Amino acid sequence: MIPQARTPAPINAMTYLLIRHRVADFATWKPVYDAHALARAAAGLTDVDLLRELDDPNQIVLLFEVSDLQKAKEFADSPSLRDAMRNAGVIDKPDLYFLER
């Protein structure tokens, strides 16, 4: 009898959302981002990290843990998020990646 290949269960599997976007001015963007924390939490997102590019501090990378993938996807496509980004001065189309460890 030939053993069947098994896919091992992921150890500590976790889903993340990575967002990269450019802002006009980090100092203007940050308070709007902070004020939107409750909306992120309601979407099942937990802040993990906020990074800025060394050569361009207005280039932002955000990493979130995702507890509810469906809610996170709905949030990522929500008018609330689009409005917050516009009000915060996001000046390019954000790149969003749902990732799994």
> Domains in the chain, start-ordered, CATH in brackets?
15-100 (3.30.70.100)
Token representation of residue 16: 């993340």
Please identify every stretch of the chain with a pLDDT value under 70, giving residue numbers as ranges: 1-11
pLDDT of residue 32: 95
Whole-number percent of the chain with pLDDT over 90:
85
* pLDDT computed for residue 75 by the predictor: 96
pTM of the model: 0.85
What is the model's pLDDT at position 11? Answer: 61
Q: From start to end of the chain, where are the E strands? A: 15-22, 45-52, 59-66, 95-100
pLDDT of residue 13: 82
How much helix, strand and coil, in percent to the nearest 5, is found in the chain?
Answer: 35, 30, 35
Provide the pLDDT for residue 7. 59
Structure tokens at 58: 């207005």
